[in-house]
């Protein structure tokens, strides 16, 4: 069957290509990325079909999939692709777009965790587990999640109550502010 892509359907794949600095037209659906993916067992659709969706311009299908969030960035796919396609970076690009468009429903908890992680880093300069997990548990309505584990970590001196103090945190916040400003200038 011959598939002809109209201009509209090519816009999306060109956008992804621009973001990862690589053309992904070369993917011929061999499925090696899916075969090696440790998380493909619970992905729907599997990774190679996500690449196909991008090629065909099926933006919504790709951005609303569970698959993009379930990618653990282990890079097995990228290292095995016979066409040298950076599959893991495609997953990153799709997540970045999904975040920008607020389409994080498919895996709310995973996307929330990433978001809170960066918030904590922006506030303190470093990760503060207590602050991160506390917020995450509250917002996912599961305040006692892992409390036993937390207690154990605390008793072993592996959880600190005090937030990290980084002198340069203000500088970091200014830098992140400039990233935001640069993105608003070039959407």
Partner 1 sequence: MKYAYYPGCSLHSTASDYQQSIESVFQKLSIELQEVEDWTCCGASAAHVSDLLLPLVLPAKDLLKVEKMGLEVMAPCAACYNRMRTANFKLRENADLRRRVNQVLQADYRANVRVRHISDVVVNEYGLEAIAGLLEKDLKGIKVVCYYGCLSARPQKIVAFDDPVYPSYLDRLIKTLGGEAIEWPFKTECCGGSFSVSKKEVVLKLTHELLDMAQSLGAEAVVVDCPLCQFNLDFRQEEVEARYGKRFALPVFYFTQLLGISLGLRPDALGLKKLNVDPFPLLERKNIHG
Taking the least distance from each CB to partner 1, the nearer of 25 and 146 is 146
**Closest distance between partner 1 and the C-beta of residue 15, in Å?**
12
Taking the least distance from each CB to partner 1, the nearer of 3 and 38 is 38
Can you say whether residue 30 is alpha, beta or left, with left for phi > 0 and alpha for psi between -120 and 50 degrees? alpha
Closest CA to 82 of 127, 153, 29, 128: 29
Residue 73 binds partner 1, judged by CB under 8 A: yes
Cα distance between residue 121 and residue 127, in whole Å: 5
Range in contact with partner 1 (rule: CB under 8 A) among 8-16, 27-35, 46-54, 142-150? 142-150
Closest CA to 65 of 27, 24, 110: 110
Cα distance between residue 8 and residue 147, in whole Å: 50
Q: Which DSSP state fits 40?
A: G
Cα distance between residue 11 and residue 154, in whole Å: 51
Residue 19 binds partner 1, judged by CB under 8 A: yes
Residue numbers 112-131 binding partner 1 by CB under 8 A: 112-115, 117-118, 121, 125-127, 129
Residue 96 binds partner 1, judged by CB under 8 A: yes
Residue 79 binds partner 1, judged by CB under 8 A: yes
19: burial class by Cβ within 10 Å (0-12, 13-18, 19+)?
A: middle
Cα distance between residue 177 and residue 32, in whole Å: 40
Residue 149 binds partner 1, judged by CB under 8 A: yes
Residue 42 binds partner 1, judged by CB under 8 A: yes
Taking the least distance from each CB to partner 1, the nearer of 5 and 176 is 176
Q: Are 106 and 60 in contact (CB under 8 A)?
A: no
Residue 138 binds partner 1, judged by CB under 8 A: no
Applying CB under 8 A, the residues found at the interface with partner 1 are 19, 21, 38-39, 41-42, 70, 72-76, 78-79, 86, 88, 91-92, 95-96, 99, 107, 109-110, 112-115, 117-118, 121, 125-127, 129, 133, 136, 145-146, 149, 152-153, 156-160, 164, 166-169, 172, 175-176, 178-179, 182-183
């Amino acid at each position: 069957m011959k598939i002809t892509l109209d201009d509209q359907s090519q816009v999306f794949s060109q956008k992804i290509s621009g973001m990862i600095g690589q053309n992904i037209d070369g993917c011929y659906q061999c499925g090696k990325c899916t075969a090696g993916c440790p998380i493909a067992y619970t992905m729907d659709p599997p990774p190679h079909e996500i690449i196909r969706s991008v090629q065909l311009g099926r933006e919504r299908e790709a951005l609303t999939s569970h698959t993009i969030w379930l990618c653990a960035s282990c890079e097995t796919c990228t290292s095995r692709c016979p066409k040298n396609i950076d599959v893991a970076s495609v997953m990153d690009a799709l997540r970045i777009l999904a975040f920008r468009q607020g389409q994080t429903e498919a895996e709310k908890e995973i996307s929330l965790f990433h978001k809170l992680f960066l918030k904590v880093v922006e506030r303190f300069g470093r990760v503060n587990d207590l602050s991160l997990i506390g917020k995450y548990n509250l917002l996912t309505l599961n305040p006692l999640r892992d409390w036993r584990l937390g207690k154990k970590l605390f008793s072993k001196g592996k959880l600190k109550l005090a937030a990290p103090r980084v002198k340069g945190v203000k500088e970091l916040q200014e830098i992140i502010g400039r990233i935001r400003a640069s993105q608003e200038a070039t959407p």
